[in-house]
Amino acid sequence: MRAVIFANGELGQPERMRALLRADDYLIAADGGLRHLRALDRKPDLLIGDLDSVSQPDVDWLAGGSTEIRKFPAEKDFTDLELALRAAHERGVEGILLAAALGGRLDQTLANIGLLRLPELSGMDVSLDDGLTEVRLITATLTIQGSEGDIVSLIPAGSAVEGVRTHALQYPLNAETLSPGQTRGISNVMLTDQAAVEIEHGELLCVHLRKNNL
């Protein structure tokens, strides 16, 4: 089972997001992310958060359905999105897609990307994706599915990342080191519909911009 969590960020082209959804996805609305699901006419299985960003019409839309609602105090230790991630992990899903977690407030976007490093998510297939931009964390290998001409940027998530190798990217990296504060891994280009990245040590953020977003 895969969980798809809708945050309260931007979702510029909802139809692109709709194309990523599966019929059997476990849908979670992280507080105000409920508005995106309503726009897609997909009721969530779970609504979670302090619910300070949920409109009354959206709540009324859920009436009579089977959505579970977990309300937390406004003064809490975690963001609504982290609560949703923890709920998905507790459910035992094999993969998680975070939607509408990019764009909008810079602090929230950076924090959302940082959630990819949660220890509970280690070994799981987790991505942030709005249909146009995809962000993943690489700890060993990653195969990137896309199109020729897509942009791929590789950014160290913490300390220097060693032994970086790329396949089917225009500017190859061959057992190289990418260090924080340098831009060596920015704006590479996919040569085919599939590319790959391998690393020997460290954590690397992969930002995949689909060419129809450029």
Beta carbons within 8 Å of 80's beta carbon, 6+ residues apart? 7, 8, 30, 31, 32, 33, 48, 49, 50, 53, 72
Q: Are strands 26-30 and 46-49 parallel, antiparallel or unpaired?
A: parallel
Domain that holds residue 100: 2-131
Q: Over the stretch 135-162, which tens digit does the pLDDT of each residue have?
A: 999 999 999 999 999 999 999 998 999 9
Predicted model pTM: 0.88
Q: What is the mean pLDDT of residues 97-120?
A: 89
Answer whether residue 72 shows pLDDT above 70: yes
85 and 154 assigned to the same domain: no
Q: What is the mean pLDDT of residues 19-46?
A: 94
Of 211 and 25, the structure prediction assigns the larger pLDDT to 25
153 and 115 assigned to the same domain: no
Of 131 and 165, the structure prediction assigns the larger pLDDT to 165
CATH number at residue 157: 3.40.50.10240
113 and 175 assigned to the same domain: no
Of 84, 106, 131, which residue is a domain's last?
Answer: 131
For the chain, what is the domain count?
A: 2
Of 192 and 122, the structure prediction assigns the larger pLDDT to 192
How does residue 168 score in pLDDT terms, banded at 50, 70 and 90?
very high
160 and 83 assigned to the same domain: no
170 and 81 assigned to the same domain: no
Answer whether residue 192 shows pLDDT above 50: yes
127 and 157 assigned to the same domain: no
Question: Mean pLDDT for the chain?
Answer: 92
Predicted pLDDT at 213? 53
Predicted pLDDT at 214? 42
